[in-house]
């Protein structure tokens, strides 16, 4: 049986190790394991969401409302856009997949920064597209436009704030890139962590209202981070109706489960939870910055719910990540992204205490 | 912006109307609306599943275990296969999508029966493949093999029991088709409704253990029907490891939400619920058969949780479906499948009473 050639070229995304696996593998009690690897919201599930899930727990046999009327209405009101501007995906991930499948083929290419969200590359490779990356992980106008002019990619990904690095690109810079690109290239502005950047410094705030004027731009958002629904898989794309209509053709029916839909609708209403998440995060992020300074590491200024520590040659991120894992501390090693660095989700005060304590021991300080 | 040509050719799947829509559109009180259109389990959600959902309701912020260790273990034990034989999809639907994307391109074709599950065609068209159908909705050996020899399709879909018709193909007949096809063609045996057929007549029972010997066959199953998890979107494919490995490359990470995973694991353990569902169904199915005979309609002998009524020219399925809808009875009109027929999910005694009462009124008998 002949399978499509593109398969040969695809690496599978490596998810953060779940706590249960570390318990099984290293025999550590689950209460001594701390997972700061997947940028989950450390506060947990909003009580409002929990209530909505429980209220709908006996509807597991019923297919969801595939028009997603209520969720679209809530998002349309949040962003002051029309419902025809919105498509909902199983995570913004799935919207990336729709985009890739609607636009790419094996004669096309895509452009992204040197270090950015791994799924851009995986979905593009599933379509056989060629991958181009700029030299820097930051989204630099000159690098993007030079590569754009050379390769004429069908998609440009702008991840702001960027994952897994944590830096952000200003609204001005994003718009400058968009304005220098013609309509034949689709630009994806991935704002998965935008709530954190917006709260930290308004010059990094960018959203659908800045972008809907462009027929070739789509804004992506997610409920997985600030809204605390990582496990529910709900994200969205906002763009002009023609593009949304095309992506709809790649959407499988019932792509959001009945309970995920109920959870996302509840989360939309619960502004307090998002605000509290950000306040806690900002307090705790300062501890990570102070810790880095005290111990002589570099870090990337973070506009997300995680922070990236950069190491010099005398320290190896793989050794550090392994040593932490054996102690029950799960963080993300960025060696596979070509960085001698680790990415740590900023957790609760208690989780962060555990990280600092174990990390100092690993470093033997 | 140039979109892929395949998009021009794709029709969007039309989901059954949700109850809320009928309430809004026709001003009928929700307790007077009965939905027998989507083959949902009329018993509802298993109490065991409900409990698992409630127990996990505060884990919505945590990504699921992407290895799906526990669910695979449960399925491996249910079917007496290895975990490396299993891939889990957001509904067996998503496994169909992986298959389509791993195997098809715009030079390939697929073969299916004249009337069968709509998503086979939609996913194949997303890849630009050509669609061939046999003359009959039943899966007839001669028709399949003749078309196979003529077109050499890359995929053959065998839906047994078949949806939306309800008939089944015997194990013997399925194996005869498989044995007449060479390894270059992938055969999908879609057993979404197999639990009902297996309980009714063992000659229609077919499963992974009959099929795993073939490198070019995949068996699909789902939790959406007999297990009562239609809203949770969990299904699976079972095949030899090489094929499963290839499909994995098209799987997005975290394709099953944290609560869907918990629900499916619980459902696997709850054999009583499935047995009770089938007993209730068999009792109520007889009422539909008796009703058809009493009122002079033909029906297709059903091996699923729904029944298809076939009309002669003096009755029009579209008029009947519309008249029922206005009375708050949602069933599936099969006109778009080229049949003058309606498909009715066999509901609870009370739901079926409502259907019979309204249907008689619509027919003015």
Nearest CA in chain B to A257: B232
In this prediction, residue B17 carries a pLDDT of 75
* pLDDT band for position A21 (cuts 50, 70, 90): confident
Residues B174 and B186 in one domain: yes
Q: Do A90 and B250 touch (CB under 8 A)?
A: no
Say which residues have a Cβ less than 8 Å from residue B116's Cβ, sequence separation at least 6.
B137, B157, B159, B162, B163, B165
Residues A290 and A222 in one domain: no
Residues of A in contact with B259 (CB under 8 A): 53, 231-232, 257, 259-260
**C-alpha span between A343 and A359 (Å, rounded):** 13
Number of domains in chain A: 2
Site from B9, B34, B63, B229 to mutate, A interface, most A CB atoms within 10 angstroms: B63
Residues of B in contact with A66 (CB under 8 A): 15, 18
- The answer to whether A188 touches A220, Cβ cutoff 8 Å, is yes
Residues of A in contact with B233 (CB under 8 A): 254-255, 257
What does the pLDDT average to over A305-328? 96
A 260-299 residues with CB < 8 A to B: 260, 263
Residues B228 and B288 in one domain: no
Q: Does the structure show a pLDDT above 80 at B239?
A: yes
CATH of the domain at A82: 3.40.640.10
| Choice among B7-11, B255-259, B265-269 with the minimum mean pLDDT | B7-11
Q: Does the structure show a pLDDT above 80 at B230?
A: yes
* pLDDT band for position B206 (cuts 50, 70, 90): very high
Q: Is A348 helix (H, G, I), strand (E, B) or coil?
A: coil
Residues B194 and B206 in one domain: yes
* pLDDT band for position B44 (cuts 50, 70, 90): very high
Which is it for strands A306-310 and A298-300: parallel, antiparallel or unpaired?
A: antiparallel
Instruction: Output the CA–CA distances (angstroms, integers) from residue A23 to A36, A183, B343, in the order listed.
Output: 15, 51, 49
In this prediction, residue B59 carries a pLDDT of 97
Structure tokens belonging to residue A120: 């851009």
Instruction: Look up residue A32 and give its DSSP letter.
Output: G
Residues B141 and B182 in one domain: yes
**C-alpha span between A270 and A229 (Å, rounded):** 12
In this prediction, residue B341 carries a pLDDT of 97
Q: Is A181 helix (H, G, I), strand (E, B) or coil?
A: coil
Angle at A94 between CA A91 and CA A95, to 5 degrees: 100
**C-alpha span between B62 and A229 (Å, rounded):** 7
Residues A161 and A201 in one domain: yes
Choose between A286 and B19: higher pLDDT: A286
**C-alpha span between B216 and B218 (Å, rounded):** 7
Nearest CA in chain A to B217: A1
In this prediction, residue B8 carries a pLDDT of 86
**C-alpha span between B360 and B320 (Å, rounded):** 11
CATH of the domain at B14: 3.90.1150.10
- Residue that terminates a domain, selected from B249, B269, B289: B269
A10–chain B Cβ distance below 8 A for any pair: yes
Structure tokens belonging to residue B55: 């127990």
Residues A72 and A177 in one domain: yes
Site from A2, A40, A63 to mutate, B interface, most B CB atoms within 10 angstroms: A63
Q: Does the structure show a pLDDT above 90 at A200?
A: yes
* Average pLDDT score, chain B: 95
- Residue that terminates a domain, selected from B269, B300, B318: B269
Three-state secondary structure string covering chain B: CCCCHHHHHCCCCCCCCCHHHHHHHHCCCHHHCEECCCCCCCCCCCHHHHHHHHHCHHHCCCCCCCCCHHHHHHHHHHHCCCHHHEEEECCHHHHHHHHHHHHCCCCCEEEECCCCCHHHHHHHHHCCCEEEECCCCCCCHHHHHHHHHHHCCCEEEEECCCCCCCCCCCHHHHHHHHHCCCCCCEEEEECCCHHHHHHHCHHHCCCHHHHCCCCCEEEEEECCCCCCCCCCCCEEEECCHHHHHHHHCCCCCCCCCHHHHHHHHHHHHCHHHHHHHHHHHHHHHHHHHHHHHHHCCEEECCCCCEEEEECCCCCCHHHHHHHHHHCCEECEECHHHCCCEEEEECCCHHHHHHHHHHHHHHHCC
What does the pLDDT average to over A332-359? 97
Nearest CA in chain B to A20: B65
Q: Give me the residue from A10, A38, A248 closest to B63, CB to CB.
A: A38
Which tens digit of pLDDT belongs to each residue from A93-112? Answer: 999 999 999 999 999 999 99
Residues A291 and A204 in one domain: no
In this prediction, residue B15 carries a pLDDT of 75
Residues B90 and B25 in one domain: no
What percent of chain B is modeled with pLDDT above 90? 91
Asked, as a colleague might, if the bond just before A161 is cis with ω within 30 of 0, I would say: yes
In this prediction, residue A349 carries a pLDDT of 97
Say which residues have a Cβ less than 8 Å from residue A300's Cβ, sequence separation at least 6.
A165, A166, A167, A307, A308, A310
Q: Does the structure show a pLDDT above 80 at A14?
A: no
Residues B141 and B290 in one domain: no
The residue range of the domain holding B70 is 47-269
Q: Do A249 and B126 touch (CB under 8 A)?
A: yes
Nearest CA in chain B to A62: B231
Residues A91 and A220 in one domain: yes
- Residue that terminates a domain, selected from A269, A300, A319: A269
* pLDDT band for position B241 (cuts 50, 70, 90): very high
Which tens digit of pLDDT belongs to each residue from B127-148? Answer: 999 999 999 999 999 999 999 9
- The answer to whether B112 touches B123, Cβ cutoff 8 Å, is no
Residues B174 and B258 in one domain: yes
Which tens digit of pLDDT belongs to each residue from A62-96? Answer: 999 999 999 999 999 999 999 999 999 999 999 99
Q: Give me the residue from B20, B50, B62 closest to A65, CB to CB.
A: B20
ipTM of the complex: 0.95
Site from A18, A48, A185, A231 to mutate, B interface, most B CB atoms within 10 angstroms: A231
Q: Does the structure show a pLDDT above 80 at A17?
A: no
b/e map A342-364, b = 16+ CB within 10 Å: bbbbbbbeebbebbeebbeebee
Q: Does the structure show a pLDDT above 80 at B16?
A: no
Q: Does the structure show a pLDDT above 80 at A18?
A: no
Say which residues have a Cβ less than 8 Å from residue B286's Cβ, sequence separation at least 6.
none
Choose between A297 and B53: higher pLDDT: B53
**C-alpha span between B206 and B191 (Å, rounded):** 8
What does the pLDDT average to over A28-43? 94
Q: Give me the residue from B233, B246, B253 closest to A13, CB to CB.
A: B253
Among A60, A257, A58, smallest CA distance to B40 is for A60
* pLDDT band for position A13 (cuts 50, 70, 90): confident
Q: Does the structure show a pLDDT above 90 at A22?
A: no
* pLDDT band for position B24 (cuts 50, 70, 90): confident
Which tens digit of pLDDT belongs to each residue from B52-84? Answer: 999 999 999 999 999 999 999 999 999 999 999
**C-alpha span between B62 and B56 (Å, rounded):** 10
B50–chain A Cβ distance below 8 A for any pair: yes
Nearest CA in chain A to B124: A250
Q: What is the largest CA-CA distance in chain B?
A: 59
* pLDDT band for position A215 (cuts 50, 70, 90): very high
pTM for this structure?
A: 0.96
What percent of chain A is modeled with pLDDT above 90? 91
In this prediction, residue A352 carries a pLDDT of 98
């Amino acid at each position: 049986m002949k399978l499509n050639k593109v398969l040969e070229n695809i690496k599978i995304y490596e998810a953060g190790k779940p706590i249960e696996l570390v318990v099984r593998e290293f025999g550590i009690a689950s209460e001594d394991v701390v997972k700061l690897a997947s940028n989950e919201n450390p506060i947990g599930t909003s009580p409002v969401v929990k209530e909505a899930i429980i209220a709908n727990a006996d509807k597991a046999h019923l297919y969801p409302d595939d028009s997603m009327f209520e969720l679209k209405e809530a998002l349309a009101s949040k962003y002051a856009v029309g419902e025809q501007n919105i498509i909902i995906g199983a995570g913004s991930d799935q919207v990336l997949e729709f985009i890739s499948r609607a636009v790419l083929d094996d004669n096309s290419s895509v452009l992204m920064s040197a270090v950015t969200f791994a799924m851009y590359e995986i979905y593009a490779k599933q379509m056989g597209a060629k991958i181009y990356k700029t030299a820097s992980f930051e989204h630099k106008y000159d690098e993007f436009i030079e590569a754009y002019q050379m390769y004429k990619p069908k998609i440009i990904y702008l991840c702001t704030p960027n994952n897994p690095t944590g830096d952000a690109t200003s609204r001005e810079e994003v718009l400058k890139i968009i304005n220098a690109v013609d309509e034949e290239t689709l630009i994806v502005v991935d704002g998965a962590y935008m709530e954190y950047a917006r709260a930290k410094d308004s010059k990094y705030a960018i959203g659908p209202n800045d972008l809907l004027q462009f027929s070739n731009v789509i804004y992506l958002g997610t409920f997985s981070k600030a809204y605390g629904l990582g496990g529910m898989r709900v994200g969205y794309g906002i763009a002009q109706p023609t593009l949304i209509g095309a992506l709809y053709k790649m959407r499988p029916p019932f792509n959001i489960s009945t309970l995920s839909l109920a959870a996302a609708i509840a989360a939309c209403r619960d502004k307090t939870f998002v605000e509290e998440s950000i306040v806690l995060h900002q307090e705790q992020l300062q501890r990570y910055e102070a810790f880095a300074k005290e111990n002589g590491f570099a870090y990337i200024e973070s506009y997300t719910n995680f922070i990236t520590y950069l190491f010099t040659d005398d320290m190896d991120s793989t050794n550090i990540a392994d040593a932490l894992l054996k102690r029950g501390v799960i963080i993300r090693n960025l060696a596979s992204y070509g960085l001698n660095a680790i990415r740590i989700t900023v957790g609760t005060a208690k989780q962060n205490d555990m990280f600092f304590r174990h990390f100092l021991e690993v470093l033997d300080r």
